[in-house]
A and B are shown apart, each in its own frame.
Chain A
Amino acid sequence: MGEFEVHRVRFFGLVPAGVRCLACQPRGGRLALARTDGAVEVYNFAANYFQEKVIPGHEARSVEALCWAAGDRLFGAGLGGDITEYDLARLCVARSVDGCGGPIWSMAANSSGTQLAIGCEDGSVKLFQVVPGGIQFERNLDRRKGRILCLSWHPSDTHIAAGSIDVLRVFDVCSGQTVQRIMVNYHVHKVKRECIVWSIAFLSSGTVVTSDSFGRVQFWDWERGTLLESHTVSTSAVLSLSVSEKEDSIIVGTSTGATYQFQLLPVKMGSLEKRWVRTKPFQHHTHDVRAVAHSSTALISGGLDAQLVIRPLMEKIQKKGYEAALRKFTFPHRRLVSCARKARLLLFQFSQHLELWRLGSTNETGKDGEVLPLCRMPEHLVQLKSKGPEHIYCSCVSPCGSWVAYSTASRFHLYRVQYEGDSVSVKKVPKVPKLLLPAYQLQFSADSGNLFVASARGSVHVLQLLEPGGCKHLHILQPPSGCPEAVYLLAVSADGHWLAAVSGDWAIHVYNLKCFKHHCTVPTYSCAVTALAIHPITNNLVIAYSDQQLFEFSIPEKQYTAWSRTVQNCGLHKVWLERDSPITHITFNPKNPSHILLHDIYMFCVLDKSLPLPDNSALLMNQSTLKQLPETARQRQLHAFKICKKFQPLLFADLLDENCLVMVERPIMDIKTQLPLPIQQKKFGT
């Protein structure tokens, strides 16, 4: 693997925001997720649950409910009182309509996706028509006191069930009248405490399922207004509930972090009598599970501990493999850290500010595994706060460390950083050219002379940076055939000759920067690109896809390299393909041209192209066993993948110079300490 001096960085104080709501696209392969800071993310099931799209949050725009309507249009509603439609191509808010009912607590779309119902603070349920180019207010349903916390349409679109405090109501959509009103707190009469119906679901059989703050999941017959079944699953509140499309399984999430599955099972073999039975409990979260979703093959839950957990249903999965693995996502599938290699600086991107740090240094050397004492501590140089309520989309620091750029939804900022001894001065570059905002990715050229700004419609802006602090718009690179989606990944070659850009439709375009011309398109592959980089010597483009495939594409020759073809012929190792987090960064070692350095959240890998690929019988993570073998045996056991799992969770890894690495870790425990205390639970034996 080779020995490196490693900067083990743990001062990136990122605290991911908790998951607020989830929405599965009906009959589709996507999952929309909203976080407590207002960010909306879209995961693609087909692309191994890759976090395909991220719309950063907004201070004033909290999202309480998400729903898909009219096919693939995504709507959100929040306590701001607005209904927002998201533009998933440009990754920003498309339009926003005031709900006129105060804060909106809930929103649901009917089964055909033509109508939206919202539940408001003032107790009203309003219907909106989904029309091309927006939504239109239709009418109010019968209004009563008490905020509407949850809503559910009957699959036939004739009735709406709404949960409020102490009560659930059923509305007739045609007449708009309340046709049933059921008191939920009936059983708790000794001590009168209000019972909050947190979540509701209307089944086609006419059964209404509610989950409430007393930890109960109850099944009601709405026509008679009677309780059919009541299951107490927890001592604390059951916050969320989701029904499978077949209506034979329900997942609920509680405030203790546990999720439970209910299944509709026949009481006896062959008989028609069926009953809801609580079956599997899962404890993957430490905090409130505010959102759950039920896809056809998995139970999905999101909690305030920022985790998104995808628990596959074994019985629904045909073959054991990647699909059958339990997945937990805490961190975004993209880089939040950029590194100035020459200046040894790290730029950390938070939701509303940036931090620039100088790495520590040491003059001592040591053996493998030793911790070296620092002679200079890492230094927090600058904190840049973004102005306004918008969150940061992307940021970058130039390799020389003297330029810092970031972009929000409506503004682009470029700063000139100057170092005079120990003091640092930051100067905003005035008169940045007007660009098509937002920018989705920023990339400086290796000589810090140019800045590439990834933008909407597949375009990339090229800015020239001028000393002592100015810039000039040089060119707009655009794919020849046009593209509706935004560019989300950029890679520039070390010699400044080539630029590769990936847009939301997963097409990779390579541009020649000398003549600002489109050079070629990498053959499309049916999966999302998670990372790419251009080799500094050979100008080969290395691409990592979300299904863990690796490709090497020779830009000058406009074709896949021989090594890439061997990889495709032999296939990658099974264990490698079954990893559940995508490669987020690729870099190279100029001293060892055959080495590719790549990493995901859980491992760092040096891929040595000169060594044979491992077959499925070999051990993939063999570094520790190799160490114990004698030299001759070691030579036989060597294979291309040299994997190190020492640094976890790994947010960023880069090569500073030929034998110096920087690893940015964010220990889960550090995040946990930043979260509020979980609900106290008595644990046996403590």
Chain B
Amino acid sequence: MVAPVALRVVRCGGGSLHGARAVFSADSKQVGLGPGYLLCASGDFVKMYSLATEETLRLMGGHADLVTGIQLNPHNHMQLYSSSLDGTIKLWDFMDGIPIKTFTVGSKLLALYTLASSEDSVFVVIPKSGERDTFQLVSVKLPKGAGQDLEANELSVVLDGVDASPKHIAFGREAEYVASVKDINLQVYFFKQKQLHRFSVSAVKTKSGNNRFSCVACHPTEDCIATGHADGKIRLWRNFCHKKEYTFSTLHWHHDTVMDLAFSVEGTSLLSGGVESVLVLWRNESDCQKDFLPRLGSPIEYISMASDGTLCCTLHTDNRITIINSNLRFSRSIQGLIKSADIKTGLVVDPRTKALVLNGEPGHLQFYSLQSDQQLFSLDIVQRQYIHQAGLNQIDLVKVAFSPQGKWLATVEEREEVTDPELQLKLWFYDEETQSFKLNTRINMPHEDHITDMCFRDMDELEDDSLILVTAGRDCVFKVWVMVEDTDPEAQQSVSWSCDFVGSYHNYQATNCCFSEDGSLLAVSFEETVTVWDSVTWDLKCTFCHPPGKIRNICFGRLTCSKYLIGATDAGFLCCWNLLSCALDWSAHLNILVLQPDPLSEHIAAVSWLSKESSLFVFKPNEPRPIYIQRNFCREKIQLAAFVPRDEPETIGSEKYLWLRRSQLFFLTDTQELITLSMKSLEERLTPSSKQLAVEESLPVTPFSLLLGKHRHQQSQEDIDLGRVFLRNKRAQDSPAVKELLHTPAHVLPSASFLCPIFINSLLISKENKSAEEVADEVEMESEKTEDDSDEERDVTEMKQEDPSPVELLGEMTCKLSKSQEKELRKIRKMDFSWISAF
């Protein structure tokens, strides 16, 4: 075996897209590209999206810290400059995704500007040495050396006392002047005259907010500066080449801070955006002529214009990118992982689509496809208009659970009010026809207080009506919800949900709940104690506790380890209890934040947070020694984690990483960045199809290319279907006809009438169809095989489970009772319980 490859921590989505304004690749007509690309700073990377397909085409990594600015090279539109907090400026060829040069500046770079008129220098904002929180705008001369890594030491200060934000500096027409805003001051520096003019607005706080500048933009052809203010006003400054006779006019529509401004290419209109999620188009700088593009979903952070003026795009605080036509029509939106104010639902995997499910837009549930780094869809749970206003308590989605097959979805929403929380439990049924979730039952105030946890009983083989939902609440009870037949003939649905059982333990708050793999046992943690309940009779079986420390997480072991119950306490202990002996098997001193079992194997991943670094431990419950430890793999605090089942098991060489065979582990940091562990290199991760697309798009669009493109596209799809093996020979088989046609010099080509049938033949589908069918068969066979495999495995596990089951069943004879008897018994038990708890 080869030397084991190290696991790499890969950032695969989320994060924040707002390091800087997005950049459109140059004018399509100029360069002869398709609709072009959008380049965007995202964390340490620069992302390139296709404007035609919204796909992430390229991820350009290489910076060691946040990317703070990206700008096209004004002298070569196929090149891009990017600056980063790590103190380097990189020049990229973004079509090929390769870094051409790296210029090391030395100090943190907070913003980057390029000018067409300055041949070999760029402008950056750097912190002033020796002083905290003061920044200066400097011009950096980029050396013309031969090597890849160059030092750029020639700095000259242009402006002092600027702000760190890239939105606070703008360059005026033909680079005549630069405008910088900070607090209540506007500075304009004229390069030719070497004059600096300072203007300020009154500092008084008006009732509508304060006057501070929030952004600045310069008119492309006239001497006009537009500034946005924290009170929602836009000021248009003119005549600022005079110290005294300057003047400004005011435009006011926004009720809150103007987040960004952008002039159109001709300067006839001005775009502004803010927290209202409305893009405002001001025509002719007039207060009366404005147009709106409302309902953009979330606050606008950045606005950027394409250089040909046909498109503009807005970056939103939740990482969405909206592309807007020049006539202010919504064109398309690029949305990866939507950033939510607070992820309360946790990371849940939709069993049906294998998508990650978590809080999205306020009140919505987002389904995020990990493969395509795109949002599949957004489900409106709260179904209320969201009002963008600070300090308003709005209903938010807090808990989500899927039934094992993904047929049912349970959601909990609440309004955060300290005294009187408003709760709603909703159960959604997956409608095969509409391919979406339909609201089935709504339960108002399912608990008296906040719901802390919720889970479905995970019993694959059982009938649908045996589905059970358990909710644990801070009102010291857990409730069991079951489906009942709806007796009301007018009801549109046959089943609805109602409460079946209420359990409590010594008036402690219920904090977590969890079903064992076979669904026979329910573990509910009540502050310091874990209680284990029989899921049929709702008997309290046993209790575990590991004082001091309240239980933070619990989970059952799986497959061979199903006799173990794992719990993490906030006193910093990870405990493993044996359910057969009802004793503590082992415990470890670890401050566990996240405890996540792999649904397809025995492995459990635990993430600890110690001395400001996250560490990952993967272990099997049956042995206290972890199989895999990665210390300090991430600086940020890991908030959540999830195992996502792979479509097909990975072939993994090293035994150390066997736990990654069936599922992939994803983490969400507190900056809402999605990271995963991977053994592959970065290039491999990008799908080849998207690469090809990039190349294809560089061809000019002609009817012929469309035809050919379709042909190739089909092919590439097949390629994907077939896997790599078929790829090569398929190509070889098919291409000669086309190749011949394309590459033979025109003067030696036979007549078109002769070539035509050959070409047409090559395009015919009948042949392909056949092969596709064959292939499909094979694929099916394969998948059957895998299914078989899994069946076998399951058998094995079941067999293994038989060993513990007699032991478990020892005290459990009631299962043989009829249902009515069971119910009676339950009632009696309930009474008993209340009577006991009274003592």
Contacts and interface: CB of A to CB of B under 8 A. Distances in A.
A265 B247 contact: yes
Contacts of A267: 222-223
B268 to A, nearest CB: 13
B244 A280 contact: no
B286 interface: yes
A444 B246 CA distance: 56
Interface stretch (B248-256, B419-427, B505-513): B248-256
A450 B248 CA distance: 61
Majority secondary structure, B binding face: loop
A265 B241 contact: no
Contacts of B221: 268
Interface stretch (A24-32, A226-234, A352-360, A375-383): A226-234
B255 A684 contact: yes
A317 to B, nearest CB: 10
Interface string B229-264: 000000000110100111111100001000000000
B286 A279 contact: no
Contacts of A278: 249, 285-287
Given A265-B238, A268-B173, A280 B288 contact: no
Nearest to B237: A279
Nearest to B222: A267
A684 B287 CA distance: 15
Interface in A211-246: 215, 231-235
Nearest to B247: A279
Which size bracket describes the interface of A in this complex?
A: 20 to 34
A631 interface: no
A277 B176 contact: no
Contacts of A433: none
A648 B186 CA distance: 39
Contacts of A315: 244-247
Contact of B285 (A268, A277, A281): A277
Contact of A281 (B176, B238, B241, B249): B249
Contacts of A277: 238, 247, 249, 285
Contacts of A235: 288
A279 B241 contact: no
A269 interface: yes
Given A263-B239, A269-B223, A281 B286 contact: no
A268 B250 CA distance: 20
Contact of B176 (A265, A269, A279): A269
Contacts of B744: none
A2 interface: no
Interface string B277-290: 00000000111110
Given A231-B286, A232-B286, A684-B255, A279 B244 contact: no
A143 B221 CA distance: 47
Contacts of B255: 684-685
Contact of B288 (A234, A263, A684, A685): A234
Contact of A268 (B223, B245, B246): B223
Contacts of B245: 315
Contacts of A279: 238, 247-249
A266 interface: yes
A226 B542 CA distance: 93
Interface in A641-686: 684-685
Interface string B737-767: 0000000000000000000000000000000
A281 B248 CA distance: 10
A264 to B, nearest CB: 10
Contacts of A231: 286
A265 B288 contact: no
A280 B286 contact: no
A187 to B, nearest CB: 13
Contacts, number: 52
A285 B238 CA distance: 26
A231 B248 CA distance: 16
A280 to B, nearest CB: 7
Interface in A268-302: 268-269, 277-281
A265 B173 contact: no
Contacts of A280: 247-250
Nearest to B249: A279
Interface in B162-196: 173, 176, 190
A233 B239 contact: no
Interface in A237-266: 263, 265-266
A266 B245 CA distance: 12
A268 B238 contact: no
Contacts of B289: 232
B453 to A, nearest CB: 41
B243 to A, nearest CB: 9
Contacts of B250: 280-281
A280 B245 CA distance: 13
Given A267-B223, A279-B247, A279-B249, A215 B285 contact: no
A266 B223 contact: yes
A153 to B, nearest CB: 28
Interface string B204-245: 000000000000000001110000000000000011010011
A234 B249 CA distance: 14
B204 to A, nearest CB: 14
Given A277-B249, A279-B247, A685-B255, A269 B241 contact: yes
Contact of B239 (A215, A232, A266, A684): A266
A315 B248 CA distance: 12
A686 to B, nearest CB: 12
A268 B221 CA distance: 8
A685 B276 CA distance: 14
A237 to B, nearest CB: 14
A329 to B, nearest CB: 24
B223 A233 contact: no
Interface string A299-331: 000000000000000010000000000000000
A138 B233 CA distance: 54
A263 B173 contact: no
Interface in A338-378: none
A268 B222 contact: yes
A233 B247 CA distance: 17
A267 B221 CA distance: 9
B247 A263 contact: yes
Nearest to A249: B247
A232 to B, nearest CB: 4
Contacts of A233: 287-288
Contacts of B247: 263, 265, 277, 279-280, 315
Contacts of A234: 288
A281 B286 CA distance: 12
- Across chains A and B, which 6 residue pairs bring their CB atoms closest together, nearest first? A232-B288, A279-B247, A315-B245, A279-B249, A269-B241, A315-B244
20 contacts: A215-B288, A231-B286, A232-B289, A233-B288, A235-B288, A263-B239, A265-B238, A265-B239, A265-B247, A266-B223, A269-B176, A269-B190, A269-B241, A277-B285, A278-B249, A278-B285, A279-B238, A280-B249, A281-B249, A315-B245
Interface of A: 215, 231-235, 263, 265-269, 277-281, 315, 684-685
Interface of B: 173, 176, 190, 221-223, 238-239, 241, 244-250, 255, 285-289
Given A263-B239, A268-B173, A684-B255, 15 more contacts: A263-B238, A263-B247, A265-B247, A269-B176, A269-B190, A277-B247, A279-B247, A279-B249, A280-B247, A280-B249, A280-B250, A281-B250, A281-B287, A315-B246, A315-B247
